[in-house]
Amino acid sequence: MVLAAGLDLAELHVTERVRRMASAREMIDFMEASSFGNFLSAIPKDLHDTFRADFDRAALAHQDPEGFASRDYGAMIVARKPRG
């Protein structure tokens, strides 16, 4: 996108972030808080509690002794407008 916009890419930094969460409930709470209210928006409100319970049960297969690891990536781009 930077190049398509006619800019020169000066720097690109990609960082992996890992968040540890103790429980599936903590993971859902984090996802709800960080998604601007969109996390459960496709699920009817009367099914939210059922979804949370199903998620708790399904998440157990991915739990380690420290809880859960949530990984994502962040990118920082430095671009310059070409001279001339």
Q: Tokens in use for 58?
A: 């399904």
- What pLDDT is recorded for position 18? 92
Q: What is the pLDDT of residues 37-73, one digit of tens each?
A: 788 999 999 999 999 999 889 988 888 888 888 889 9
- What pLDDT is recorded for position 83? 87
pTM over 0.85: no
- What pLDDT is recorded for position 24? 86
Q: Tell me what percent of the chain is helix, strand and coil, each rounded to the nearest 5.
A: 35, 35, 30
- What pLDDT is recorded for position 60? 87
> Residues with Cβ < 8 Å from 82, sequence gap 6 or more?
6, 7, 8
Q: Provide mean pLDDT across the span 4-8.
A: 95
Nearest-CA neighbor of 67 among 19, 23, 17, 31?
A: 23
